[in-house]
Structure 1
Amino acid sequence: MQLIYYISGSIFIFLTIYIHYFYFLTNQQFVFHSNILLTINEKNKCLNLQNIESTTNELRHKLRNLFDLLGNSFSYNTKDNLKDSRSELFGYLLSEIDQIIESNVDTHKKVLDELAQHINNTLYKLQYPNDCNNRRLLVCYMGLDNCGFGCIIHHISFCLHISTSSNRTLVLENDGSKWYYSAKWADVFEQLTNCEYEKHVRPYLPLSKYKSIDQKDKVLLLRRRFEIEWEFKIPHSPEIAPLEFKEILTKHHTNPPAWFMGQIIKFVLRENQTTSAKLNKVEATFNLGNEFFTGIHVRRTDKRDESPFRGLEDYMKWIDFWYNSEEIKIQNSKQNKTLNKRRLFIATDEPKTIIEELRKSWGSQYELLHNKINASYGNRYYDPQRRSEKSLLAIFAEIRTLAKCRFVVCTFSSNVCRLVYELMQAYRGYAGDNVYSIDYDYAEYWYKKEMISTSDYKAKNKDEIDALEGDIIIFKKQKLNGFIGGLNNRTKKEGKFPISLLKEKFKFLSFPVFSLND
């Protein structure tokens, strides 16, 4: 009953805040008003201990969307008292919701850790067979000249994802001796398998292309995902989680495919002892200390060609929001704790410009942690600087550090941001809401991401689209002011749609190698 009381109180405050800011909004207020009332009516019918956590996760999602909408109704200014009051009020709401969710984190983490161990054991058996001659193999294409670190790791993880679905052992092309970076794969990471390219693959050249799990060829070649999908669709894509884990993951995690991909990527990114020592040396320069910290990843340089520019204010309003909530939780707890200073780790390919701007606007509020301010990673993927071992270690160290943050703001249009989110699930277990993307929701191909409409919606103007409850809405443009650009798969009409009326559409398919009955 106490938990139900907290939820009801949170909903009441949530509605109060909404009404308080009513006159700042235009037609957008209907979206949240109708949606929140719908949530309350539905939850009052079946609110019990089994769905309390589902309810609070949904409320947190709506709260963040409302904060995003209202936040864009004001000009962000670090000296704007109105902004500060609004952020603190939302921080209070988030802290109330988080306290309910966090009461079960240990239980979730225990279950997820056990499942992660099962996955890791299965991958070891698959990748290090007793006799490679008796295994079917999948060769991962490595000629990725226009692909940076995040892109490469996602490609290799895609290969491992497909090899596990088809019960094949994955081998890197030429054992990873020829790839984007100057250092060989084995100079940096543990080899993915004990099967050797020269001994177990070369005798079968030329290789046929991988097309489906039903192929009987002893050895197949898997090229890049976008090349393959021009010809045919691969069902077991990275957006898919094993059906064998569906019941566990839907109960214990908010994003099952991301959690599963995190386990795959963690297996891929097993650095060797030499690299581990080098990474520790790089990370020591970040001055992280023992206190917790948050992080942002700001990608500029060649990212300007891929997505619209986003100012640092877009990142920092979410960091402020998170810290406001955290401070309230600490104040309300009975533990003798204090938050001495807000700490922020900064990962960026333009450190001098970004860090100087952060120091100027937020330096008095935050302790800024970062790599060397004069670090240079090159402006394009073909720059020699980006191919060096030094650059590889720097980006890997920053990704590892971001994945250890309590909360991160970045852009899911970036491979690095998604990699951080996925690794965080492997490091922390239950961290589905610990990363916020300011442009798109989590997906490898954001423009193909499918979400489900949670209620009927009637367009308010010619720029919006209608939907019925259960309609599939496909992302077409990044989120902005509480809306996305979407395509209704039923009506085939494209336009703005309120993101608060959407929920994830998770997909599951069978991966027999991961059976829990063996």
Structure 2
Amino acid sequence: MKIHRDPPRHVRNTKLSSNQDDTGDDQQVLVDRFFAARRVKTGIVELWRAIQSEILNFSGGTKKAKVLGKLKERYNALLIDMDELLSFDDQWRSELAKQATNEVAETISRLQNPEDCNGSRLSSGMIECGFGCAMHSLVGRFDHAIAQNRRFIINGSQSDYSNGLDVIKENFKPISSCPKENTDLVYVNSVCDMEGCDLLNKTKEHSSNIRDYKYVHVSEITSFHMGAFKPLGASKQLWTKIVNFHGNPTAWWKGQLLRYIMRPNEAIERMLEEERAQIDFGEPIVGVHVRRTDKLFLPGENAKFHYFREYMKHVDDWYDRYELQMRKLGAKHNIHRRVYLATDDVFVWEKEVKSYSSYTFLGTREFSITAGSSRSSRTSENGLRSIITDITMLSNCNFLVCTFTSEVCNAAYELKQTYSVDASDDAVSLDSMYGVVGLPNKLLKAVYDHTEDKATSNMEFKPGDDVFILKNLWNGTYDGWNGRTGNAGIFPSYKVQYEGKYCSKQTKLFRKTFITVD
């Protein structure tokens, strides 16, 4: 599979020891330099968002557009220079990425294809929700199984998209080499936290330690993994490696598990290869996912309506920067601007794309008609395979424009991380940042004082405070809370910085499971 990436750049010969716990001073300098360069790049991006927000508040529409147009090329040139600076660390980061990927693959293979199929295992059904939601629930339980050194079993895999079909069996490879087993046994209620599981209702005849049981069935996960915390299944040593080479370690980890679960069977692989051949990923292409219809009004959803032009603004920005980069490399030809469009609203195909005649739009228009016509059509076998196709094709694009309130968008972004060393910057969301809405998604360190101002909802912190991001407001400010004081509020992005830190425990967050005595 040939997937086009950014223009080639020279790889510098800088190496990092594979043993991150015994990193020498010189090697630590490489890690520190990479983090410093990433902080500068983040600062440039956040400054540009602040500038746009301030200028758009001025009067005079035509003048504002001219000013922003002039500044945008300078901004793009700065980002290109920053990417060149970051390329000094390509080699050692690639080595770490390879080590981490191999370690995860070996762990999964050992657990899922054991010599003794009667060893410790953890089973789960698929919750009845949309395909992306169902896949992410399995990823969470798979993570839990790895943490307890258990083989993961999927018992029953119907979701809202399956319409009675077995989603895993009909579309993906078996998750384990072991035969399917009878799991109709007596369940004991239990609750799990980050360090393991204890019985919720302790009795004399049952041990209070989940590790005393060979078979554990997870019926429901009531907590969410937050980006500021280390996943259950990743060891501290492995997590340190991931943090050192990747800009969004949580997305990388979930991408590895999701890619394993979604390994296509022969029929699905043929279907995907045919779609890839029609699109030609050897040339640059931006993926756009527009989620509307029931996502906008279902209870518990956080999505809001966004006009198609909001998505296309970011597509324009990516191609403008890409063309500037190619010009710097001496390219003379014009770039063919292409978009892979995935949407459940056929109106986007019928009306909104017509305003962008300079673009070629590719994608499954038929699925948009199916998805928007009725729920039964969307949840049919054809609907299920269309959503698998969209997630896969979106993940293969150079850049992704979507809304992170959508599980499909998250899945595509996570899979995208498995195709390169670090694709954490290769997506933009119109609504929330990556992670769980309203929960701590990144741990930052305060580097400047900030004064509380209740009139503007600004919170107070001091240098050295742990500050958790709850939401990026996309205007140069974050909404978050102070780990020292417990206060929440808004603060400027430049007053905090990412240092690769994370929390190891999610206190007071639990998972509900059932234990079967084996």
Cα distance change, pair 496–64 in 1 and its aligned pair in 2 (3 A): same
- Given candidates 233, 251, 261, the residue that maps to 1:258 is 251
What does the per-residue CA deviation read over 1:450-474, in whole Å, with 9 as the maximum and x for residues that have no partner? 4324322124662211222233444
Counterpart of 1:484 in 2: which secondary structure? strand
Matched, 1:469 2:440: no
Q: How many Å apart are 1:159 and its aligned residue?
A: 0.9
Is the 2:143–2:233 contact (alpha carbons within 8 Å) kept by the matching residues of 1? Answer: no
1:235-314 superposed matches below 5 A: 238=231, 241-284=234-277, 287-288=279-280, 290-305=282-297, 306-314=302-310
The one-letter code of the counterpart of 1:280 is E
Q: Residue 394 of structure 1 corresponds to which residue in structure 2? A: 386
Is the 1:138–1:169 contact (alpha carbons within 8 Å) kept by the matching residues of 2? Answer: yes
Q: Residue 336 of structure 2 corresponds to which residue in structure 1? A: 341
Cα distance change, pair 373–105 in 1 and its aligned pair in 2 (3 A): farther
What does the per-residue CA deviation read over 1:205-252, in whole Å, with 9 as the maximum and x for residues that have no partner? 4355462355112211113322x68xx99x987487431213422322
Q: How many Å apart are 1:295 and its aligned residue?
A: 1.8
- Given candidates 75, 94, 119, the residue that maps to 1:109 is 94
Give distance in 1, aligned partners of 2:428 and 2:159.
35
Q: Residue 440 of structure 1 corresponds to which residue in structure 2? A: 432
Q: Residue 136 of structure 2 corresponds to which residue in structure 1? A: 154
Q: What are the ranges of 5 or more consecutive residues in structure 2 without an aligned counterpart?
A: 1-27, 198-208, 506-518
Q: Residue 492 of structure 2 corresponds to which residue in structure 1? A: 498
Q: How many Å apart are 1:374 and its aligned residue?
A: 6.6
Is the 2:230–2:503 contact (alpha carbons within 8 Å) kept by the matching residues of 1? Answer: no
Q: How many Å apart are 1:132 and its aligned residue?
A: 1.2
Counterpart of 1:344 in 2: which secondary structure? strand
Give distance in 2, aligned partners of 1:180 and 1:401.
18
Q: Percent identity?
A: 24
The one-letter code of the counterpart of 2:43 is K
Q: Residue 86 of structure 1 corresponds to which residue in structure 2? A: 71
The one-letter code of the counterpart of 2:343 is T
Q: How many Å apart are 1:337 and its aligned residue?
A: 6.3
RMSD: 3.3
- Given candidates 409, 412, 425, the residue that maps to 1:420 is 412
- Given candidates 78, 81, 85, the residue that maps to 1:100 is 85
The one-letter code of the counterpart of 2:42 is H
What does the per-residue CA deviation read over 1:69-92, in whole Å, with 9 as the maximum and x for residues that have no partner? 223345599994433222222111
Counterpart of 1:167 in 2: which secondary structure? coil
Q: How many Å apart are 1:419 and its aligned residue?
A: 1.3
Q: What are the ranges of 5 or more consecutive residues in structure 1 without an aligned counterpart?
A: 1-46, 511-518
What does the per-residue CA deviation read over 1:76-110, in whole Å, with 9 as the maximum and x for residues that have no partner? 99994433222222111111111111343354234
Q: Which structure shows the bigger proportion of residues in helix conformation?
A: 1
Cα distance change, pair 99–337 in 1 and its aligned pair in 2 (3 A): farther
The one-letter code of the counterpart of 2:462 is L
The one-letter code of the counterpart of 1:487 is W
The one-letter code of the counterpart of 2:187 is P
Is the 1:345–1:369 contact (alpha carbons within 8 Å) kept by the matching residues of 2? Answer: yes
What does the per-residue CA deviation read over 1:325-364, in whole Å, with 9 as the maximum and x for residues that have no partner? 2222222225x5644222222222214326632331x332
Cα distance change, pair 115–139 in 1 and its aligned pair in 2 (3 A): same
Q: Residue 371 of structure 1 corresponds to which residue in structure 2? A: 364
Q: Residue 33 of structure 2 corresponds to which residue in structure 1? A: 52
- Given candidates 313, 331, 352, the residue that maps to 1:357 is 352
Q: Residue 123 of structure 2 corresponds to which residue in structure 1? A: 139
Q: How many Å apart are 1:163 and its aligned residue?
A: 0.1
Is the 2:391–2:411 contact (alpha carbons within 8 Å) kept by the matching residues of 1? Answer: yes
Q: How many Å apart are 1:273 and its aligned residue?
A: 0.4
Q: Residue 189 of structure 1 corresponds to which residue in structure 2? A: 172
Deviating more after overlay: 48-57 vs 83-92: 48-57
TM-score, normalised via structure 1 length = 0.77
Give distance in 2, aligned partners of 1:457 and 1:489.
14
Higher relative contact order (CA closer than 8 Å, sequence separation 6+): 2
Q: How many Å apart are 1:291 and its aligned residue?
A: 0.7
What does the per-residue CA deviation read over 1:377-406, in whole Å, with 9 as the maximum and x for residues that have no partner? 5459x9222321211211111111111122
Q: Residue 149 of structure 2 corresponds to which residue in structure 1? A: 167
Give distance in 2, aligned partners of 1:315 and 1:487.
30
The one-letter code of the counterpart of 2:495 is L
Give distance in 2, aligned partners of 1:71 and 1:83.
7
Deviating more after overlay: 500-509 vs 215-224: 500-509
Give distance in 2, aligned partners of 1:383 and 1:278.
23
Matched, 1:485 2:479: yes
Cα distance change, pair 148–453 in 1 and its aligned pair in 2 (3 A): same
Give distance in 2, aligned partners of 1:477 and 1:436.
14
- Given candidates 43, 46, 51, the residue that maps to 1:65 is 46
The one-letter code of the counterpart of 1:221 is H
Is the 1:189–1:275 contact (alpha carbons within 8 Å) kept by the matching residues of 2? Answer: yes
Is the 1:92–1:324 contact (alpha carbons within 8 Å) kept by the matching residues of 2? Answer: no
Counterpart of 2:439 in 1: which secondary structure? helix
Cα distance change, pair 279–316 in 1 and its aligned pair in 2 (3 A): same
The one-letter code of the counterpart of 1:415 is E
Give distance in 2, aligned partners of 1:119 and 1:367.
38
Give distance in 1, aligned partners of 2:44 and 2:135.
33
The one-letter code of the counterpart of 1:192 is I
Counterpart of 2:216 in 1: which secondary structure? strand
The one-letter code of the counterpart of 1:129 is P
Counterpart of 1:358 in 2: which secondary structure? helix
The one-letter code of the counterpart of 2:169 is A
Give distance in 2, aligned partners of 1:390 and 1:77.
47
Is the 1:453–1:472 contact (alpha carbons within 8 Å) kept by the matching residues of 2? Answer: yes
Give distance in 2, aligned partners of 1:324 and 1:392.
35
Matched, 1:408 2:400: yes
- Given candidates 385, 395, 411, the residue that maps to 2:377 is 385
Give distance in 2, aligned partners of 1:78 and 1:140.
58
Give distance in 2, aligned partners of 1:78 and 1:241.
51
TM-score, normalised via structure 2 length = 0.77
Counterpart of 1:271 in 2: which secondary structure? coil
Give distance in 1, aligned partners of 2:349 and 2:43.
30
Cα distance change, pair 374–148 in 1 and its aligned pair in 2 (3 A): closer
Give distance in 1, aligned partners of 2:40 and 2:131.
36
Is the 2:437–2:471 contact (alpha carbons within 8 Å) kept by the matching residues of 1? Answer: no
Give distance in 1, aligned partners of 2:387 and 2:476.
32
Deviating more after overlay: 236-245 vs 188-197: 236-245
